[in-house]
């Protein structure tokens, strides 16, 4: 059977024209920019055993035909991953002194041995095997030589577990996991003092506020930054490009950013609205350039991590982990965390909610009656009245009303004052007033209806303990503990 020729030109899913006549097929992670993707076929032809290429010419030709097809229906980054799986197979075959491999040699026993190897030796577990299984299915469906339907059925029966998600989040890794509260505070203080280079500071601020994927940052355009003048002041919003969405056109999500960040980005942007907002990032590898900017900024500001005693290690993923972990600790739902991180499903956010609950349980079990008073759910402060501002540094102190849609609160008074600077940081995205009791920015009023809040929570728990979502019940239990601690501290002051 004669194989079809490699097309000289391929139009990718997002409309990029890719020249496939040479050994280097080049594209971008997205049509509007991002990392440069290079499919370098010489890497495959150079893998040899017994002084011969591991892959036969026919096997290489079929792999190229497959990736041409993939480029029409998948993002360039996905196709790059497919080539990496092929290269991994070739290197493994070279270790076994196999040469002139053809796809007819990819039997179920060979595939099973390769699967065992990647499960033991590689961090992404069985992902390479799964990608090759898709290639094999393509070969069977196209009736190319060397691909067998019975072998495909055996391949589909094999279980290929993927990489373990959230390891650094679960372990709270000191340099790869989410930032600690102290580390985040040090970063915030340095940003408020406008320390470090302005361009690098803009990169850090953006990722601290939004937890962006660095590829999204690289694709931001000057036109994506919106400056809105209102009677209350100037507001800034950013249209953040969506990443890893299987769509051909450019999609964005509009996000509010702080005035401080907005003004900085507005001053750094170029006049051309189609220019890159972060125009100083490397064209070849903007994602790496984002992380390099963070490392420079941490070094320039001389921030020392309290956990390691060394210069704080920053990269974009840590900020993303930090944002999600903070939301989970504040009681945000999985759906809300997924929305903030722009995930289309919940599988990637489970780790944040699960580990937060697990750590809380471990602390509770390890704490005896003597130390238990030191573990506080109530992290705020008490105030006697509204005559004096609870947070003098804020332009105004917002009263938090005692109103919850699903709880029978009768009082129309306020439970306290919020210390969040809404002009700079935006509105609270949790669920006041319940989430306020476990927030460090909460000032509880002495004469607030705290007993009514406690009674309403008790009433809700009594009715819904057996039917409500377990996470909601756990959050209410935590709030209940915090309210009890408020009442206990009020009683101490009265004595």
Q: Are residues 133 and 175 in the same domain?
A: no
Q: Are residues 322 and 186 in the same domain?
A: yes
Quote the CA–CA distance of 412 and 408 in Å, as a whole number: 12
Parent domain of 427 = 376-494
Q: Say if 3 falls within a structural domain.
A: no
Which residue, among 56, 57, 55, 66, has the nearest Cα to 7 in the 3D structure?
66
pLDDT at 362: 46
Q: Are residues 323 and 354 in the same domain?
A: yes
Q: What's the structural domain count of the chain?
A: 3
CA dihedral 64, 49, 133, 138 (to 10 degrees): 30
The three-class DSSP label of residue 15 is coil
Q: Are residues 407 and 450 in the same domain?
A: yes
Q: Are residues 149 and 245 in the same domain?
A: no
Strands 381-383 and 442-445: parallel
* pLDDT (tens digit per residue) in 9-65: 999 988 899 999 999 999 988 888 778 899 999 999 999 998 899 999 999 999 999
Q: Are residues 131 and 60 in the same domain?
A: yes
Quote the CA–CA distance of 85 and 213 in Å, as a whole number: 24
Q: Are residues 122 and 220 in the same domain?
A: no
CB 210 within 8 A of CB 252: no
Q: Is the dihedral of CA 151, 157, 158, 159 positive or negative?
A: positive
pLDDT at 245: 64
Q: Are residues 253 and 383 in the same domain?
A: no
pLDDT at 39: 96
Q: Say if 1 falls within a structural domain.
A: no
Q: Are residues 240 and 219 in the same domain?
A: yes
pLDDT at 406: 60
**pTM summary value:** 0.58
Q: Is the dihedral of CA 58, 60, 62, 65 positive or negative?
A: negative
Q: Say if 371 falls within a structural domain.
A: no
Domain boundary at 331, 364, 397, which? 364
* pLDDT (tens digit per residue) in 227-261: 999 888 899 999 999 886 656 678 888 999 999 99
* Phi and psi angles of residue 26, each rounded to the nearest 5 degrees, phi first: -115, 140
Q: Say if 163 falls within a structural domain.
A: no
CB 133 within 8 A of CB 155: yes
Q: Are residues 153 and 190 in the same domain?
A: no
CATH code at 260? 1.10.443.10
From first to last of its 495 residues, the chain has per-residue pLDDT tens of 678 899 999 999 888 999 999 999 999 888 887 788 999 999 999 999 988 999 999 999 999 999 999 999 888 999 999 999 999 999 999 999 999 999 999 999 999 999 999 988 766 778 999 999 999 999 999 999 999 999 999 999 998 887 666 777 877 888 888 998 889 989 999 999 999 999 999 999 999 999 999 989 999 999 999 999 988 889 999 999 988 665 667 888 899 999 999 999 999 999 999 999 999 998 888 888 999 999 999 999 999 988 888 999 999 999 999 998 888 877 787 888 888 888 876 777 777 776 664 444 444 444 444 444 444 567 678 888 877 777 777 777 777 877 666 666 545 568 888 877 766 656 666 677 887 887 777 888 888 888 888 888 888 888 887 777 666 777 788 788 888 888 888 887 665
pLDDT at 326: 85
Q: Are residues 221 and 326 in the same domain?
A: yes
Which residue, among 177, 213, 176, 183, has the nearest Cα to 298 in the 3D structure?
183
CB 478 within 8 A of CB 429: no
CB 185 within 8 A of CB 208: no
Domain boundary at 342, 364, 386, which? 364
């Amino acid at each position: 059977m004669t194989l079809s020729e490699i097309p000289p030109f391929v139009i990718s899913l997002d409309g990029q024209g890719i020249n496939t006549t040479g050994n280097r097929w080049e594209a971008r992670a997205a049509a509007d920019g991002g990392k440069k993707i290079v499919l370098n076929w010489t890497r495959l032809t150079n893998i040899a055993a017994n002084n011969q290429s591991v892959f036969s010419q026919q096997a290489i030709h079929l792999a190229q035909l497959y990736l041409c097809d993939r480029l029409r229906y998948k993002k360039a980054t996905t196709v790059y991953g497919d080539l990496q799986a092929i290269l991994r197979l070739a290197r493994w075959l070279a270790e076994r002194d196999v040469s002139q491999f053809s796809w007819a040699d990819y039997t179920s026993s060979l595939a099973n041995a390769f699967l065992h190897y990647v499960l033991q030796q590689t961090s992404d577990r069985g992902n390479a095997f799964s990608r090759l299984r898709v290639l094999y299915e393509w070969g069977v469906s196209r009736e190319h030589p060397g691909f067998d339907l019975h072998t495909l059925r055996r391949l589909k029966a094999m279980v290929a577990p993927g990489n373990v998600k959230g390891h650094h989040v679960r372990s709270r890794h000191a340099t790869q996991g989410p930032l600690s509260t102290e580390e985040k505070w040090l970063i915030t203080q340095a940003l408020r003092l406008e320390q470090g280079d302005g361009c690098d500071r803009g990169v850090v601020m953006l990722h601290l506020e939004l937890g962006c994927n660095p590829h999204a940052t690289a694709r931001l355009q000057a036109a994506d930054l919106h400056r809105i003048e209102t009677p209350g002041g100037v507001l800034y919003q950013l249209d953040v490009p969506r990443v890893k969405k299987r769509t051909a056109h450019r999609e964005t999500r509009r996000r509010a950013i702080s005035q401080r960040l907005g003004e900085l980005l507005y001053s750094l942007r170029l006049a051309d609205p189609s220019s890159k907002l972060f125009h100083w990032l490397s064209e070849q590898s903007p994602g790496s350039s984002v992380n390099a900017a963070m490392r420079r900024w941490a070094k320039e500001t001389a921030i020392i991590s309290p956990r390691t005693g060394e210069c704080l290690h920053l990269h974009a993923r840590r900020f993303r982990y930090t944002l999600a972990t903070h939301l989970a600790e504040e009681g945000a739902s999985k759906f809300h965390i997924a929305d903030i991180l722009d995930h289309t499903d919940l599988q990637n956010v489970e780790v944040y909610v699960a580990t937060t609950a697990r750590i809380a349980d471990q602390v509770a079990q390890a704490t005896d009656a003597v130390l238990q008073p030191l573990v506080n759910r109530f992290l705020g402060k008490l105030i006697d009245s509204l005559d004096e501002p609870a947070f003098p540094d804020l332009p105004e102190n917002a009263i938090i009303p005692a109103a919850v849609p699903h709880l029978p609160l009768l009082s129309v008074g306020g439970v306290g004052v919020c210390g969040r600077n809404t002009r700079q940081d935006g509105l609270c995205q949790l669920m006041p007033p319940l989430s306020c009791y476990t927030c460090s920015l909460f000032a509880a009023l002495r004469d607030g209806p705290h007993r009514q809040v406690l009674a309403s929570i008790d009433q809700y728990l009594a009715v819904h303990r057996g039917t409500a979502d377990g996470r909601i019940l756990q959050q209410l239990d935590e709030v209940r503990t915090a309210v009890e601690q408020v009442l206990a501290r009020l009683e101490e002051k009265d004595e």
